[in-house]
Amino acid sequence: MTLPLPTDRLRDTLMTQPLPNEMILKWAEERPDEVFLRQIIDRKFVDYTFAEVADKALSLVSALRSMGIQPGDRVALMSKNCAEWFITDLALMLGSYISVPIFPTAGAETVNHCITHSESKALLIGKLDDDKAISSVLADHPDLPTISFSYPSAPKCKFEFDTLVADSKPSEERPEHKPEDLMSIVYTSGTSGLPKGAMLTYGAFAWSAQRILDHIGMKEGERLFSYLPLAHITERVYIFGSSVMAGIQVAFPESLDTFIEDMKMHRPTLFISVPRLWTLFQQRILEKLPQARLNILLKIPFISGVIKRKLADGLGLDKARVLGCGSAPVSPALLRWYENIGLNITEAWGMTESFAYSTINHPFRSDKIGTVGNAGPGIEIKIAADEEILVRGEGMFSGYYKNEEASKASFDKDGWLHTGDIGFIDDEGYLSIQGRKNDTFKTAKGKFVAPVPIEKRLFELSNIEMMCVVGSGMPGPILLAVPHEFPDFDHARYERKAHQVIETINKELESHAKIKGVLMIKEPWSIENGILTPTLKIKRHLLEKKYHDVGANWPKDKLVQWEE
């Protein structure tokens, strides 16, 4: 496999950049009694100091060695976010293992693919909402050593994490990793088939995390809250990476049911979320304080400040100085709504292959809402002739594991990463994304349609919870919409609103892109039914296939249909 070679400047930068395994030992020595990780259990914090985290990680190294797991072996990890996830990831670095994180919501096919494709020699399993998928996979791998974290939702394994750590002495090994050494194989979320294993090196990981720290400007006393899947690159770099590199305290939620209360317990100063959760937060607020009343209160000078403080406090975000959003397209209207209540959300963009660090709207600029910000320090962005976004920097992945063809196709001869996203850059360098190259579809009339800009506009005009515009091979695009079930839901009223929205947007669209029909979906899309990825992205290709015949045979005299 031939990939772009680092420049002399890059080599010098990476050689002097401390690595995560070095930093946890540094904090354990310099700040041994300071609390690093806070796990909420039974509504109380269970705290781990820097010294305790390092000690447990090194003990796990010894335990894995005693099980015959050798340096360079792949070790898989499947769990919702928890203190043990951090400890395990650090242990795998300190033991010279290659980590293979797996989404805790992944289906059996994906889990089996990640374990088999990576040739993992062991698997650690923790908090799960459902253990059916992993249990079925383990039945097919009876000889695979498994270790369970001590949570009720973890399946029964051959070994228990707490027992192994308690019975093992901390390893005295201190590996000296080179920047180009393979640290982790991160499997992408797979919106178009089985995930590919992106190879991440120590140097690029540490460089990306450090650039984020420098750019945001971490201060003493910062607090992070870790709940987005740690198997996803954003959480791995922005939360795990920055916390280890800068020694920042992190808390973990107890459960989804207690999420808001957990946030209130910790009061994070930096908080990253996905569009879906920001939308749910908005709905939660509007259910208690309808928009019409909220608008009135926000116009009263003294009351406005009180309302904004109460809303932030109700979400546990009253101490947050930086709020982030990424992982999927977000409606500018949603960001404007939050800005109106005093919460400025910084949108960022990146991908697994660029360690989630490419652009960021920081410091926050209101006039740049709708963009994903400009290139972060050390990153170059340009637009190719076909409008594809190209990225170049010192924190790029090293190719796809066991997939030389895809690896070579990812970079050009000058080291530019071909992202697969299309977009444009304004005169101040701020990037706007219009969707994926492979999302653009051709209708039966032979005309190309880019669905993402249409969807963003629809989000501004409607209260549809989830949507997807499809139309490949159809007479025209159709909108698949998952309605938000309000109390006393009125189908007829909702349908009238849909007519108004489609009439408005169709006036803005070229004739070939006009929405031909709206199908109201009966069953909400979810990870469980396979329509959403673990990071809540919509698998557009599955919806295209499932509803192709519906769209191809859409009645001429009907705009809205309800799925039976």
Six token digits for residue 562: 């309800």
Average pLDDT value for residue range 346-356: 95
Report strand pairing: 466-470 vs 197-201. Answer: unpaired
pLDDT value, residue 464? 77
For the cut 90, the answer to whether the pLDDT of residue 100 exceeds it is yes
Distance CA 463, CA 175 (A): 53
Sheet holding 35-41, edge to edge: 44-49, 35-41, 249-252, 223-225, 270-273, 322-325, 345-349, 359-360, 374-375
Specify the 3-state DSSP secondary structure of 499: helix
What is the pLDDT confidence band of residue 192, given thresholds at 50, 70 and 90? low
pLDDT digits (tens, 9 = 90+) for 285-313: 998 999 999 999 999 988 999 999 999 99
Average pLDDT value for residue range 149-161: 95
Q: What is the DSSP letter of 438?
A: G
The model carries a pTM of: 0.84
CA–centroid distance for 510 within its chain: 33
CB 354 within 8 A of CB 395: yes
pLDDT value, residue 189? 67
- The CA-CA-CA angle for residues 200, 201, 205, to 5°, reads 85
Secondary structure E strands in 32-158: 35-41, 44-49, 74-78, 98-102, 122-125, 146-148
Write phi, then psi, for 150 (nearest 5 degrees).
-85, 70
Six token digits for residue 134: 């992993």
352 closest CA partner among 20, 103, 87:
103
CA–centroid distance for 500 within its chain: 34
Among 85-99, 191-205, 390-404, the minimum mean pLDDT is found in: 191-205
For the cut 70, the answer to whether the pLDDT of residue 346 exceeds it is yes
pLDDT value, residue 3? 46
Fold for domain 440-562? GMP Synthetase; Chain A, domain 3 (3.30.300)
What is the pLDDT confidence band of residue 193, given thresholds at 50, 70 and 90? low
- The owner of tokens 């019975």 is 167
pLDDT digits (tens, 9 = 90+) for 210-266: 999 999 998 889 999 999 999 999 999 999 999 999 999 999 999 988 999 999 999
Q: At what angle do helices 301-315 and 275-288 cross, to 10 degrees?
A: 120
What is the pLDDT confidence band of residue 457, given thresholds at 50, 70 and 90? confident
Annotate 245-287 with DSSP letters as a single string.
HHT-EEEE-S-STTHHHHHHHH--SEEEE-HHHHHHHHHHHHH
Annotate 185-199 with DSSP letters as a single string.
EEE---TTSSPPEEE
Residue 58 has a CB neighbour count (10 Å cut-off) of: 26
What is the pLDDT confidence band of residue 510, given thresholds at 50, 70 and 90? confident
- How large a percentage of the chain has pLDDT more than 90? 70
Average pLDDT value for residue range 85-102: 98
pLDDT value, residue 239? 96
pLDDT digits (tens, 9 = 90+) for 361-403: 999 999 999 999 999 999 999 999 989 999 999 999 999 999 9
Distance CA 175, CA 183 (A): 12
Distance CA 232, CA 92 (A): 17
Specify the 3-state DSSP secondary structure of 349: strand
The residue ranges of every structural domain in the chain are: 440-562
For 167-185, letters b (16+ CB in 10 Å) and e give ebebbeeebebebebbbbb
pLDDT digits (tens, 9 = 90+) for 27-81: 999 999 999 999 999 999 999 999 999 999 999 999 999 999 999 999 999 999 9
Is the omega angle on the peptide bond into residue 363 within 30 degrees of 0, that is, cis? yes
Distance CA 63, CA 154 (A): 20
Which amino acid is residue 278, in one-letter code? W
Indicate left, alpha or beta for 498 from its phi (over 0: left) and psi (-120 to 50: alpha): alpha
For the cut 60, the answer to whether the pLDDT of residue 14 exceeds it is no
Secondary structure E strands in 128-261: 146-148, 159-160, 182-187, 197-201, 223-225, 249-252
pLDDT value, residue 13? 57
For the cut 90, the answer to whether the pLDDT of residue 8 exceeds it is no
CA–centroid distance for 57 within its chain: 25
Mean of the per-residue pLDDT values of the chain: 91
pLDDT value, residue 453? 85
Six token digits for residue 504: 């408005």
